[in-house]
Amino acid sequence: MTLTNVVRKSYVSTRNACKLCSPLGACMVMRGIEGCIPLIHGSQGCATYIRRYGISHFREPIDIASSNFVEATAIFGGRENLFRAIDNVTRQYQPTAIGITSTCLSETIGDNVPMYLHEYKTARPNQNQPNNQPAPIIFYASTPSYRGTHVDGYHEAINAVVRAVAGNFDGEFPASAKRVNLITGFVSAADLRELHEVLLSYRIPYTLLPDYSETLDGVAWEDYQKLPEGGTPIKNIAAMSNAIGTIYLGQNCDNNKNAAAYLRDQFDIPFANINFPIGIENTDRFFETINAMTGQKTPARWEYERGRVIDAYFDGHKYCSRKRAVLYGDIDFVNAIKGFIEEIGVIPVITADGADTDFASILESAKELKPDFVIGNSKGFYVARELKVPLVRCGFPIHDRIGGHRILHVGYRGTLNLFELICNALMEANQNASTSGWTYI
């Protein structure tokens, strides 16, 4: 049952929203591009909010610039603020790219950022960074928070950078190379590393976009790095126009916001839009899609991993079969996890994403449905506490545990990890509720 089927009492406003702001998702994509700095066209508060959420989840410093709107800017427009911000960011960070994202305020007053950027480039045709480095690539994503969620902003930023960069390469990547594009929705840093391993195992060239597996989950530094190493290289994004196909993991965006559809329409590159590879069925489809695109077979190592998951399903089925779950989170995440938990015999009594409900409504409905556990990010902790059931933490954001950004969700190994997390959470709940204190379950 979904919340859309539940009769709810009317209320004036959202209570504890099950979503985050659109520019936040865009900034995560921008931090997944090599040498890219996000620039918020709005107030300092917007940038601070996004930094706070990102840092508390990834446990890494995250620099996000701002055009610093003040009262006068809201009246007269942010053109000069934006120009000054681009100049300052170019001088201080020496970036390869600057990703500009709009905010509620800049969109509400009607700032025409594409026109501003055209004027900026016209006024500064030879604008270079220090040390005679070339001027940064500048791209813009329209992401007002009153339209959509952080997931919408995430996909919009992917679309923006692909439109700005794809096709602009110097022939380094020949047309004969069997390059594959893999565009992914908002997954963990560990998930991105797993996707790299999968693609590397096929021994083919590829572009994975975005890639914050190192930029937002790096090593300890001796000296502060303004722009951490890692991220999808700009040259690889440029070469996305010269691929044999694109795989898009996540929600099926409309064609105006779908980078894969743009590559198809502009460069005749076919694409497949599939769920996150979470669960055996979804992961099978992921490998089948790569196989069909490349003409190869699934490497043997992944067949062995698949067998381990099946064996684990046998071992743990008695602990999770017919259990009832409340599932919430990003729409990409919820779509994939729902199939996975049904696959292991769990009944999803509520499935909710940030676009359709809030946590107050989830709790209100869940009290009547008596779930055995809750699965989602840490924002729903109070729901699990009120229901007196375990919370299986996964997705984004996770603020109340270490390593939330390293939870592995995707692929056969990610499926195994989630299955064991669910089984162990249910076993622990039974153990804690027992008066006998037994240790053998």
Per the model's pLDDT, the better-predicted residue between 350 and 72 turns out to be: 350
302-316 pLDDT, tens digit each: 999 999 999 999 999
Instruction: Say if residue 236's pLDDT is above 90.
Output: yes
| Mean pLDDT computed over 249-266 | 81
- Asked if 345 contacts 320 with a C-beta cutoff of 8 angstroms, the reply is yes
41-88 pLDDT, tens digit each: 998 889 999 999 999 999 999 999 999 888 888 888 888 999 999 999
Q: Give, as one character, the DSSP assignment of residue 219.
A: P
329-345 pLDDT, tens digit each: 999 999 999 999 999 99
Token pair recorded at residue 245 = 């196909």
What per-residue confidence (pLDDT) applies to 122?
87
Question: What confidence category does residue 1 fall into, taking pLDDT thresholds of 50, 70 and 90?
Answer: very low
Instruction: Say if residue 103's pLDDT is above 80.
Output: yes
Instruction: Say if residue 6's pLDDT is above 70.
Output: no
- Domains in the chain (CATH in brackets) are 3-13+316-433 (3.40.50.1980), 22-147 (3.40.50.1980), 180-301 (3.40.50.1980)
In one-letter notation, the amino acid at residue 82 is L
| Residue 403 vs residues 50, 63, 150, 378, 399: alpha-carbon distances, Å | 19, 20, 21, 12, 9
Among the listed ranges 137-146, 206-215, 326-335, 428-437, which one has the minimum average pLDDT value? Answer: 428-437
368-424 pLDDT, tens digit each: 999 999 999 999 999 999 999 999 999 999 999 999 999 999 999 999 999 999 999
Identify the CA nearest to 296 among candidates 223, 376, 206, 361.
206
What per-residue confidence (pLDDT) applies to 435?
83
In one-letter notation, the amino acid at residue 247 is I
Query: How far is it, in rounded angstroms, from Cα 26 to Cα 292?
Result: 31
Please provide the average confidence, as pLDDT, over all residues in the chain.
Answer: 90
Q: Name every residue whose Cβ is closer than 8 Å to that of residue 441 and which is 6 or more positions away in sequence.
A: 319, 427, 430, 431
- Asked if 156 contacts 257 with a C-beta cutoff of 8 angstroms, the reply is yes
Tell me the percentage of the chain whose pLDDT exceeds 70: 92
What per-residue confidence (pLDDT) applies to 115?
95
Query: How far is it, in rounded angstroms, from Cα 429 to Cα 427?
Result: 5
| Mean pLDDT computed over 101-121 | 91
What per-residue confidence (pLDDT) applies to 355?
77
Per the model's pLDDT, the better-predicted residue between 423 and 133 turns out to be: 423
| Mean pLDDT computed over 22-49 | 94
**How many residues are present in the chain?**
441
| Residue 167 vs residues 162, 173, 209, 243: alpha-carbon distances, Å | 9, 11, 15, 11
For the sheet with 324-329, list strands across it.
Answer: 347-353, 324-329, 373-376, 391-393
What per-residue confidence (pLDDT) applies to 80?
92
Token pair recorded at residue 265 = 């329409």
Token pair recorded at residue 212 = 């914050």
Helix (H, G, I), strand (E, B) or coil at 408: coil
Tell me the percentage of the chain whose pLDDT exceeds 90: 73
Q: Name every residue whose Cβ is closer than 8 Å to that of residue 387 and which is 6 or more positions away in sequence.
A: 326, 363, 366, 367, 371, 374
Instruction: Say if residue 179's pLDDT is above 50.
Output: yes
Would you tell me how many other CB atoms lie within 10 Å of the CB of residue 205?
A: 17
Identify the CA nearest to 416 among candidates 335, 301, 316.
316
DSSP string, 130-186: GGGPPPPEEEEE---TTSS-HHHHHHHHHHHHHHHHTT---S-S-TTS--EEEEE-S
What per-residue confidence (pLDDT) applies to 69?
87
The H or E element that residue 351 is part of is: strand 347-353
What per-residue confidence (pLDDT) applies to 274?
95
What per-residue confidence (pLDDT) applies to 225?
87
Instruction: Say if residue 159's pLDDT is above 50.
Output: yes
What per-residue confidence (pLDDT) applies to 9?
58
Among the listed ranges 57-61, 255-259, 282-286, 298-302, which one has the minimum average pLDDT value? Answer: 255-259
- Asked if 395 contacts 278 with a C-beta cutoff of 8 angstroms, the reply is no
Q: Name every residue whose Cβ is closer than 8 Å to that of residue 155 and which is 6 or more positions away in sequence.
A: 25, 185, 250, 251, 253, 257, 258, 259
What per-residue confidence (pLDDT) applies to 372?
97
The H or E element that residue 15 is part of is: none
Helix, strand, coil % in the chain, rounded to nearest 5:
50, 15, 40
Question: What confidence category does residue 105 fall into, taking pLDDT thresholds of 50, 70 and 90?
Answer: confident
Query: How far is it, in rounded angstroms, from Cα 91 to Cα 11?
Result: 49
Q: End-to-end CA distance of the chain, in Å? A: 31
Strand boundaries in 5-91, DSSP class E: 36-41, 65-66
